[in-house]
Amino acid sequence: MQRADIQRWMFLLLIAGVSIAFAWIVWPFFGAMLWASILAIMLQPIYRGILGRMRGRRTLASAATVIVCLVLGVVPLALLIAALIREGTLVYQNVTAQAADFGTFFQSMLDALPAWMLKGLDLVGLGDLSALKDALSAAALALSRNMAGSALSLGQNTLDFLLNIVIMLYLLFFLLRDGDSLRATIDRALPLRGEYKHELSGEFASVIRATVKGNLVIALVQGFLGGLALAVAGVPAALLLGALMAVLSLLPLVGSILVWGPVGVYFLLAGALWKGIALLAFGTLVIGVVDNFLRPLLVGKDTQLPDYVVLISTLGGIALFGFNGFVVGPVVAALFVAVWGQFATAQAHPAD
């Protein structure tokens, strides 16, 4: 191996080592950097419009765009989180105070079951349900405490949350202002042909826009409809449950049914038949249709990914990266498909 080749490989190893070390250092702020990048892509039309009005003054245009993001996005989100914390606190207090009543309520439900159903329980060895009643009472209490505790943990992590918001807005400012030069630098560094760079860049931006826009719209619609239905049905903490449905709607196929489904069954078992039937029907025919109609239209269509790839990549992304994974998963999947498509094209036309 010639000296020039050795120097080249050593330089590549140095680049890899420094890059890994830098990624390790900034990893605690991965979420802030990710959402700063996402917002920089999503807010490009607003930034370009403001930039034109300010006659090309990038610093002022970037600052104005960040202010728009702060007023229209961050402040309402902070107010919503504060409301969820208050409601979560109330739920926790009510659950703790009324935990002993659940066993009585469960027994009343058993007494309300028809004779044929009680005989069926006897046949499968569940005739004596006292132990099951106690277990369900403890499970319901633990689940409620965990749900309320999740809301309370938001308040306990307020400092971290605010720090990440500040870092996100700070990075957003520079990504908007210096975005063109950063893209040019990345374009020069990538050892790919020009058309490949252009295709990958377009695919990345398209998937970001489609995933965030689509999932955000679906989450807002399902959370609003679900919370409204629960509020009309007289369910306590409808705001908290609506927010939970919005978050769960990020999971394809299942999503918000994990909330309105059990609540509807609860109404049926409690004897509120019309409430249970109405809630289950509304969830199936309205909330479920929203997901089945909008997700392929807003996410799968723009990303040009099959529904099953969107599902698997979203679930895998969430499993690895938590909430951020609903963006990371589909982006990685789309880039995977695009890179292999480019490779197949290059193999089919090696002379090009």
**Residue 289 to residues 119, 192, 257, 312: CA-CA distances in angstroms?**
37, 43, 12, 20
What's residue 60's pLDDT? Answer: 93
What's residue 117's pLDDT? Answer: 61
Residues of the chain below pLDDT 70: 1-2, 88-158, 192-196, 252-254, 292, 295-304, 307, 348-352
What's residue 93's pLDDT? Answer: 62
3-state secondary structure 90-112: HHHHHHHHHHHHHHHHHHHHHHH
What's residue 132's pLDDT? Answer: 54
Summarize pLDDT for 295-322 with one digit per residue, the tens: 666 665 556 677 677 778 888 888 888 8
Summarize pLDDT for 147-180 with one digit per residue, the tens: 555 555 555 566 777 888 889 999 999 999 988 8
What's residue 142's pLDDT? Answer: 60
* Secondary structure element (H or E) that encloses residue 256, with its range: none
Q: What Rg, from alpha-carbon coordinates, does the chain have? A: 26
Measured between alpha carbons, how far is 254 from 240 in angstroms, rounded to an integer? Answer: 19
On the 0-12 / 13-18 / 19+ scale of CB atoms within 10 A, 172 is buried
What's residue 171's pLDDT? Answer: 93
From the list 269, 261, 276, 277, the residue with the least C-alpha distance to 107 is 269
What's residue 173's pLDDT? Answer: 93
Summarize pLDDT for 35-75 with one digit per residue, the tens: 898 888 888 889 999 988 888 889 999 999 999 988 888 88
What's residue 253's pLDDT? Answer: 65
What's residue 158's pLDDT? Answer: 66
What's residue 65's pLDDT? Answer: 92
Q: pTM for this structure?
A: 0.69
